[in-house]
Amino acid sequence: MKALVYTGLNEVTYREELTPEPQVGEAKIRIEAVGIFGSDMHAYHGEDARRIPPLILGHEAAGIVVSGNNLGRNVVLNPLICCRNCHDCRSGRSNLCAERKLIGMNYPGAFAEFITIPERNLIPLPEGMNPVHAALTEPTATSLHALYLAERALHRPVSEGRTLVIGGGSVGLLAALILNSHGCKEILLCDTNPLRRETVLKTGCCEVFDPKTEPVNLDDSFELVVDAVGTEATRSMAIRAVRPGGVMMHIGLQQSSGESDFRKITLSEITVIGTYTYTHTDLEGALKILHSGALGDLSWIEERPLSEGAAAFSDLNDGCSAAPKIILNPKI
């Protein structure tokens, strides 16, 4: 089969790979759409020690089952393979499973014509759903999970407060779209990339600004801040912007460490919540809201052939793509 393989620093190669065959309990899926995510870019930059080349990346995938029990079914993949036996798995927090594995990291990923995955990791698509939209399930579940945690921690409903979203990539934009669908009327989003800002603005779900020309009175004024970038600078902005008693969600992780203002966190009683991926339930919920139309027409997705994946990585790297999400298609 053809696959897009991470072959070395800043290099992905479209080449022939062995077609995987399913083991007992696994399904074989022909990939129809697979998104490029921040963590794929991280690997590409050689910044993720867990992803070792040569490796087929990609974990945001939709396709059609070509073997076994679910033959012919359109599905989206739950890319996290958990043990199902530990305390966390059994208490509904499979995202924390210490034994968890991820396709595109511990197993070959979905930037390929075919993939194999345990049958329990398949989620059936609603009738007639576009696989390109379905491939957005994974980042949507990431944002949904983060907002579920945020809404549990907030003192009042998001519809009564203001939210700042830092970063207009797919997770940031999807957070803004979900918040909008939850009735949050005042959402500000910032991104350093003018092309991204333009795309986000067009969705109509929020106001947009360039962090270099920050609005006045940003400090202490948001009940909720979503940091979908995760650098020392964005965390610093997030902590400044959150109002006393508010919540800061930390989703992105571009910089692992750095200085943080614990005086503000303490004296203003801020809740800082790290959020990691999603559960199977989050993925099912994400697929449902994507299909419902509550997040808009998703016209900001850009579809490209898998064979041109190297150019897509390069464009994302250079910041010259206006799309918060590029979906690769092995069939075109």
Q: In whole angstroms, give the CA distance from residue 328 to residue 237.
A: 33
**How many chain residues touch a copy of itself (CB under 8 A)?**
39
Residue window 254-293: x/- pattern of binding to a copy of itself, with contact defined by CB under 8 A: -xxxxxxxxxxxxxxxxxxxxxx-----------------
Q: How far is the CB of 237 from a copy of itself (least distance, A)?
A: 14
- Interface of this chain with a copy of itself, residues 133 to 172, rule: CB under 8 A: 149, 153, 155-156
Rounded to a whole number of angstroms, the minimum distance from the CB of residue 254 to a copy of itself is 10
> DSSP letter string over 77-142?
E--EE--SSSHHHHTT-GGG-TT-EEBTTTB--SSBSEEEEEGGGEEEPPTT--HHHHTTHHHHHH
Residue 194 CB, nearest approach to a copy of itself (Å): 27
Element containing residue 74 per DSSP (H, E) = strand 74-77
Distance CA 104, CA 58 (A): 5
29-61 in b/e burial notation, b at 16+ Cβ within 10 A?
A: bbbbbbbbbbbbbbbbeeebeebebebbbbbbb
Q: How far is the CB of 192 from a copy of itself (least distance, A)?
A: 20
* Closer Cβ to a copy of itself, 155 or 202, answer by number: 155
The verdict on 217 binding a copy of itself (CB under 8 A) reads no
- Other beta carbons within 10 Å of 298: 17
For a copy of itself, which residue of 27, 105, 184, 251 counts as binding (CB under 8 A)? 251
Nearest approach, Cβ of 118 to a copy of itself (angstroms)? 22
For residues 309 and 14, the answer to whether their CB atoms sit within 8 Å is yes
Residues engaged in binding a copy of itself (CB under 8 A): 88, 91, 93, 95-96, 98, 149, 153, 155-156, 230, 235, 244-245, 250-251, 253, 255-276
